[in-house]
Amino acid sequence: MHEINRLIVVSNRLPNIELPTDNTERRNMPVGGLVSALRSALEEYGGIWFGWSGKTVSTGANLETTETPFGRMRLKALDLSRSEASLYYNDFCNRTLWPLLHSFPAKMTIKYEAHRAFRRVNRKFAEVVISSLKQGDVVWVHDFHLWALATELRRLGWDGPIGYFHHVPFPPAEVFGALPWAAEFLEMFLDFDVIGVHTRLYANNLRASLASEVKGAAIGDIFSHGERSVQINVRPIGIEPDEFQTDVDLDKSPMDEFVRGMPSDHKVVLAVDRLDYTKGITQRLTTFEYLLEHYPALRGKLTLIQISAPSRTRVPEYVEERQQIDQMVGHINGRFSEAGWIPIHYLFRSYNHDELTTFFRGANVCLVAPLRDGMNLVAKEFIAAQTADPGVLLLSKFCGAAETMDRAVIINPYDVQGTADAIVQALNMSLDERIARRDDLMVDIRRTTARTWFESSLRDMASTRS
């Protein structure tokens, strides 16, 4: 067992931390899956969190880091050049790897100069990280933006443990093989000691891709090629459910703005996503239009609240997605609105933890319907926030959460009629069944929390290399 001296976390971006003008600490790191879990791990073990600052400089990546103390951990921010940020992040990460990993290869763009920028930025991250490493440190890399980091750290001489967590889906081998550099990327996985994924399906897909492209051998959860091997573990990330069971004032919340004055039998369907074509928002709007067409008794009695947090606003595919959603919302509202009732409230903005909790508690149905998603913690947050009169979770079969949250109403978001019928089923569900489903789902949520995720992941990394 490798004794952990410090935990060194590396991710594409650092969490936002607001510091007052006198530079004293203010503990307001955002509550959310990765940030919440990693904050707990870093505060327990101490260490450093490296990431891109989000800032760009005119030429060349700035290898000088900006350091911010925060409790027992430090944050070290790296700047990138404008060219590298554009090619590495916008082009290769968001327009090549993101659609590929979510099984949308037709949306993938191939730019060789973007691939070179990706490798170059990973190399510069490695140069910054290794300058701070000490004997006994464990390096934990997060997500596909830094896929090449272990390879670059090994080239620089680091022989300590390096773990990697893959937060998004891993596609079938025949889909991943569409990447011109598929074999190169899979071989880079062998420079990590351990890889964590959310579900058994993703682990199986990854092993199949390795077997197809690298020609190694898998024995249990270990894949070997020559003298190198990597352990692939299923480690589903979770939430801290108690954080969603605090008291909130529903009468002084954003949710109240949309339900104030409505009759007691008025129903609310809620959806909370980042603006992204993988989230299935356009399919969801088509489903809601179908629902109003074929269940006319619901008109005037049902509202969809769609929260879409802004995301990647300069990437063309996301600009196009936003325009299409705006048009669809305008069309549906124009077609069905009546005096005192608008069918869809579309909110293109983010909300904080307490505000989202009020939305979760005020909704009769939460529609978590991505076309593909690594885990989706909104599903778990919604259930954790429920009280004595719980709402119903409708959950896409194509997100990682569905592997264990089978007591939700499982839907196929491509099936418009089937999803519309499932919404009606949820609206008519008895209180006893809603409570039973909520209670069963809470068992899974309490079993795999943010803490169990990072504790099991750290055990994996500590046990791989002496």
Q: Residue 275 is part of which domain span?
A: 245-447
Query: Does some domain include residue 49?
Result: yes
The answer on 164 and 18 residing in a single domain is: yes
Q: Choose the catalytic residue: 193, 273, 373, 444.
A: 373
Give 24's pLDDT tier (boundaries 50, 70, 90): very low
Instruction: Look at residue 310 in the predicted model and tell me its pLDDT.
Output: 87
pTM equals 0.92
User: Mean pLDDT over residues 341-348, rounded?
Assistant: 95
Q: What b/e readout covers 454-464, taking b as 16+ CB neighbours within 10 angstroms?
A: bbebbebbbeb
User: Mean pLDDT over residues 88-95, rounded?
Assistant: 96
Q: Is 167 a catalytic residue?
A: yes
User: Mean pLDDT over residues 10-22, rounded?
Assistant: 67
The answer on 271 and 189 residing in a single domain is: no
The answer on 227 and 284 residing in a single domain is: no
Please state, as a whole number, how many other Cβ atoms lie within 10 Å of the Cβ of residue 155. 12
List, in order, residues 6 or more apart from 43 with CB less than 8 Å away: 71, 72, 73
CA distance 230 to 152: 16
CA distance 86 to 234: 33
**Lowest-pLDDT choice from 10-14, 28-32, 232-236, 386-390:** 28-32
The answer on 308 and 192 residing in a single domain is: no
The residue written with tokens 């259930």 in the block is: 383
* E strands in 275-320: 302-309
Q: Which residues pair with 269 in a beta bridge?
A: 304, 365
Instruction: Look at residue 70 in the predicted model and tell me its pLDDT.
Output: 67
The answer on 269 and 222 residing in a single domain is: no
Calculate what percentage of the chain has a pLDDT beyond 70. 91
The answer on 304 and 216 residing in a single domain is: no
Contact predicate 152/126, CB 8 Å = yes
The answer on 175 and 253 residing in a single domain is: no
The answer on 276 and 181 residing in a single domain is: no
Higher pLDDT, 5 or 281: 281
Structural domain count, the chain: 2
**pLDDT of 169 over the 80 cut:** yes
Q: What are the tens digits of pLDDT across the range 39-71?
A: 777 777 788 999 998 888 876 555 667 777 767
The answer on 267 and 159 residing in a single domain is: no
Contact predicate 311/350, CB 8 Å = no
Query: Does some domain include residue 1?
Result: no
The answer on 188 and 251 residing in a single domain is: no
The answer on 379 and 230 residing in a single domain is: no
Instruction: Look at residue 45 in the predicted model and tell me its pLDDT.
Output: 77
Q: Choose the catalytic residue: 167, 191, 276, 460.
A: 167
The answer on 443 and 336 residing in a single domain is: yes
CATH number, residue 389: 3.40.50.2000
Instruction: Look at residue 23 in the predicted model and tell me its pLDDT.
Output: 38
Q: Is 331 a catalytic residue?
A: no
Give 73's pLDDT tier (boundaries 50, 70, 90): confident
Instruction: Look at residue 465 in the predicted model and tell me its pLDDT.
Output: 60
In Å, what is the CA distance from 145 to each residue of 67, 124, 164, 242?
21, 13, 11, 31
Higher pLDDT, 175 or 59: 175
Give the residue among 33, 21, 17, 26 at the shortest CA–CA distance from 67.
17
- Output the six-digit token pair for 261: 């004055």
Query: Does some domain include residue 167?
Result: yes
